[in-house]
Chains A and B, each alone.
Chain A
Amino acid sequence: MSIKKIHDNQPDKFEFTKANLELADKILKKYPSDQKKSAVMPLLYLAQNQNENWIPLAAMKYIGKFLSMPYINVYEIATFYSMYNLAPVGKYFIQVCTTSPCALRGANKLVDICKEKISKNQNELSQNKLCSWTEVECLGACINAPMMQVNEDYYEDLDETNTKKILNSFLEDKPLKPGSYRNRKNSAPEKNQILTNGHKNA
């Protein structure tokens, strides 16, 4: 799980950029004007995107004021959901799925490689400060297990060699392209195998 502890070094100030402010207004319009606080989750996500993939306290306060809701409620939500990061993560934030299907297909080996390549513990930055990794629960790509999510991309059908290559590419700041690493098209069967209903691979 991601860190749910407040980071020690907090920026003093947080404000939405002009573009994000427009986005925030658009989000607000989705909800009735007396139910403004419904927008707290998308706004937190917006803040996370703006602030290098983590949410500082100042942002929570800012959103609390923005939606006129008590700070503690924003804080509760930010600590409840695992996809909000409350401490800095690497430029490449690697989330390794270790739920049963991935675990059966060897996700634990991926974890070992992360430990070896990036940092000994989860949520620690690598030596060159580019990467950090964490274990997560199911990311919904079981058919491509084992897999990991890096920022917003999925790297699927991994094995030890591939994972090492991918991690190296992040550490060198030259990311490889996402997708299946066994040449599957999305989650389609491999090598044009016939599907049970007689159709060929789409």
Chain B
Amino acid sequence: MPKIFINNNEIEFKEGMTVLQACELAGVEIPRFCYHERLSIAGNCRMCLVEMEKSAKPIASCAMPAAEGMKIKTNTKMVEKARKGVMEFLLVNHPLDCPVCDQGGECDLQDQSLYYGFDGSRFKENKRLVKDKYMGPLIKTQMTRCIHCTRCIRFATEVAGVSELGAIGRGEDMEITTYLEKSMTSELSGNVIDLCPVGALTSKPYAFEARPWELKKTESIDVMDAVGSNIRVDSYGWEVKRILPRLNNQINEEWISDKTRYACDGLLKQRLDKVYIRKNNQLVESSWDDAINLISLKIKSTSSEKIAGHVGGLSSFETINSFKKFLEEINVKNYEFREKDFYVNSDQKMNYIFNSSIQGIEKADFILLVGANPRHEATILNARIRKTYLKNKLPIFSIGDPGDLTYPYKIVGNKTEDIKKILEGKSEINDLLKKSKNPLIIIGESALELKSGKYIFEGLKEFLYKNKFINEDWNSFNILSQNAATVGALDLNFFNKPNGSGSFFDKINNHNFDLLYLVGSDELNFQKNNEFIIYQGSHGDRMAQIADVILPSPAYTEQNGFFINLEGRLQKAFKATNPIGNAKEDWKIFNLIVDKIKNKNLFTNYKTLIEDSLSKIRENKNIDTLPEPQIKKIHLTSGNFYSEQVLIRPIDYYFSNPVARASKTMSDCRIEKIRNSENRKTG
């Protein structure tokens, strides 16, 4: 490896590194504004100037490639003077409004001016004033503060894949704006707030809410989709003030989607904080004792075939486990986690996870989407596909039309026949697929919802296995789950396997059940008839309205919980705030009911719950690891083929779960999105 001298210390670096990266290897911190490791290099802030031997001028270390034998100095008078000069120029037009700026306390400019700033200003002229730009309901702008690092522009163009931000004018008149001040049409737009090194782009919903040092920070896991992005929950008292991303290169790098970031105000609204019982068609405030009594009486008086349980997509692994244990305790066999009837095969863990792993996407050289819209179903995963596209320029195909995915792809067809052609080796893409080393086949839930769901699933699996695309090193068979609870529920087999008496969904639509126990489940498409509905959850949403008993339980930031993300990675979410009102944790509620009916405890304490839950996770018991590949014992079956249209079920992205529906920010985003699409139609 080549060597470089940094402050007279010799250090080895990798070919292709910049001087700044080499300095970091040597443990020397270089101040910077425009440089960001995940964005292209701009070299326009000049803060990273260092001295290089034989160069008369200081060099911008972020843009200078490191070379063998270079002698860099970062602690000389010249460097200090250069940095002070740059800082003085940056501050020439930067307003002195830190006391009223939301970035205060976490501002790069503030921090660095502490080391390189002068104590007074030599600038006697007028400061420049820039009109604030409208950038949608999420981003608050104060463009006078902008130092033109262009990180936001580079993020929008490169990572988010929407070229909507730009710099107009030049020199002192340069301004950052979206085209004609429209909002950004990206699900990743909130990340520009984290990227902005000053207070020019700040969070609109979080404006003037709190200072960063007064917040309690809890490292946790996101549940808005199945990706399991790593987040930090910042709370003040019982309120969750904001959600920020946490670095995890294996999952979300350092981005999170707008829904993850901004649905948190939904945790303050529409909350169920008291027990309610329906009397004379009205929900009346009640007590836990009354409710538990009523429920146990109802359960005792209803035959167990007439009872069904459904769990929602935001539930933790322990909740589903304790719910299943509770239902088994009262002999109930009708339980389900799916919201729509789609084909699942839970014989092996491989059958319901994203086997290639999110980081593995970067190795891919061929992608086929089957009835999937990763942009809306798993936004962060889509960003990874785009990153791979930019790096490898790989061919991407889709069956079904997912709309704009931020990277170019080709639609092979819209019918199940097109899948059949691939399986029979007659499709136009077969040659390319054969030649590829690491293909990715991503099957979405929309494809599995079809009548041919089984055919598509089993057929593709068999095809890939026989073509050796499922092997020890690479498993190209991927299922794109939509909900945080899906993989966990499948680990627990929390669904009704098809048998003679019709599926769960037929039964529920034919009103075969007399008692429905819903745990955080609001997406079921069903009309109430005479069922007695128990709703246990955190938000007063669709199902709470028709429920007969409402039991309040904590939301995802209010209790510890395990979540298994779509690649089968086990992660733990931590409690950030206390549950509100009279809410009780889910497993404690089940304990209470079982205690009433059978006079015994499901779980004696939290520890036994955790032990029991962890023992039920398949093929992986360690936090933050991927399951071991199980290639040897693959079972192959087949399904019936039907000629069908592959329609990708559109997702109401900003309204996809009860927390998001309660959030004002999400509803603003949704309105903005609708308005934007109408504008586009009219020209």
Contacts and interface: CB of A to CB of B under 8 A. Distances in A.
A177 interface: no
Given A4-B173, A57-B180, A72-B179, A79 B163 contact: no
A70 B169 contact: no
A79 B179 contact: no
B469 to A, nearest CB: 31
A8 interface: no
B169 A75 contact: no
A76 B180 contact: no
A72 B164 contact: yes
Contact of A72 (B165, B169, B170, B173): B165
B623 interface: no
A79 B164 contact: no
B169 A79 contact: yes
A71 interface: yes
Interface string B129-170: 000000000000000000000000000000000011111111
B613 to A, nearest CB: 49
B482 interface: no
Nearest to A69: B163
A73 interface: yes
A101 to B, nearest CB: 22
B316 interface: no
Given A4-B173, A71-B179, A76 B163 contact: no
Nearest to A80: B170
B173 A75 contact: no
Given A57-B180, A71-B179, A76 B168 contact: yes
B538 interface: no
Contacts of A71: 179
B168 A73 contact: no
B453 to A, nearest CB: 38
Interface string A1-42: 000101000000000000000000000000000000000000
B178 interface: yes
A4 B169 contact: yes
Contacts, number: 29
Contacts of B178: 72
Given A70-B163, A70-B164, A75 B179 contact: yes
B169 to A, nearest CB: 5
A45 B180 CA distance: 21
Contacts of B167: 76
Contact of B166 (A4, A6, A57, A75): A75
Interface residues of B, number: 12
Nearest to B178: A72
Contacts of A4: 168-169, 173
Interface string B162-204: 0111111110010000111000000000000000000000000
A98 B354 CA distance: 66
A104 to B, nearest CB: 24
Contact of A73 (B163, B169, B170, B173): B163
A79 B180 contact: no
B76 to A, nearest CB: 36
A75 B167 CA distance: 9
Contacts of A75: 166, 168, 179
A73 B166 contact: yes
A76 B164 CA distance: 11
Nearest to A79: B168
A59 B178 CA distance: 18
A85 B671 CA distance: 36
Interface string A73-85: 1011001100000
Nearest to A13: B683
Q: By CB atoms of chain B within 10 A, which of A6, A70, A73 has the most?
A: A70
Nearest to A64: B179
B296 to A, nearest CB: 62
Q: By CB atoms of chain B within 10 A, which of A6, A57, A76 has the most?
A: A76
Contacts of B163: 70, 72-73
Contact of A80 (B164, B165, B169): B169
Nearest to A1: B173
Contacts of A57: 180
A182 to B, nearest CB: 35
B342 to A, nearest CB: 37
Contacts of B180: 6, 57
Contacts of A76: 166-168
B167 to A, nearest CB: 6
Contacts of B170: 79-80
Interface in B101-128: none
Nearest to B165: A72
Contacts of A70: 163-164, 179
Contacts of B166: 72-73, 75-76
B135 to A, nearest CB: 12
A52 B180 CA distance: 23
A57 to B, nearest CB: 7
Contacts of B173: 4
B458 to A, nearest CB: 41
Interface in A48-80: 57, 70-73, 75-76, 79-80
A75 B179 CA distance: 8
A71 B167 CA distance: 12
Nearest to A81: B170
A175 B6 CA distance: 67
B561 to A, nearest CB: 42
B189 to A, nearest CB: 14
B404 to A, nearest CB: 13
Interface in A130-170: none
A75 B176 CA distance: 12
Nearest to A12: B683
A75 B182 CA distance: 14
Q: By CB atoms of chain A within 10 A, which of B163, B178, B179 has the most?
A: B179
Interface string A173-186: 00000000000000
Interface in B253-297: none
B542 to A, nearest CB: 39
A70 B161 CA distance: 11
A201 B169 CA distance: 45
B637 to A, nearest CB: 46
Q: By CB atoms of chain A within 10 A, which of B167, B168, B178, B180 has the most?
A: B168
A72 B173 CA distance: 17
A56 B662 CA distance: 43
B184 to A, nearest CB: 11
A80 to B, nearest CB: 5
Contacts of A73: 163, 166
A57 B169 CA distance: 15
Nearest to A70: B163
Interface string A106-137: 00000000000000000000000000000000
Nearest to A57: B180
Contacts of B179: 70-72, 75
Contacts of B164: 70, 72
A5 to B, nearest CB: 9
A73 B164 CA distance: 8
A72 B181 CA distance: 10
29 contacts: A4-B168, A4-B169, A4-B173, A6-B180, A57-B180, A70-B163, A70-B164, A70-B179, A71-B179, A72-B163, A72-B164, A72-B165, A72-B166, A72-B178, A72-B179, A73-B163, A73-B166, A75-B166, A75-B168, A75-B179, A76-B166, A76-B167, A76-B168, A79-B168, A79-B169, A79-B170, A80-B168, A80-B169, A80-B170
> What are the 8 closest A-B residue pairs judged by CB atoms, nearest first?
A70-B163, A72-B166, A79-B168, A72-B179, A76-B166, A71-B179, A80-B170, A79-B169
Given A4-B168, A72-B164, A80-B168, 14 more contacts: A6-B180, A57-B180, A70-B164, A70-B179, A72-B179, A73-B166, A76-B166, A76-B167, A76-B168, A79-B168, A79-B169, A79-B170, A80-B169, A80-B170
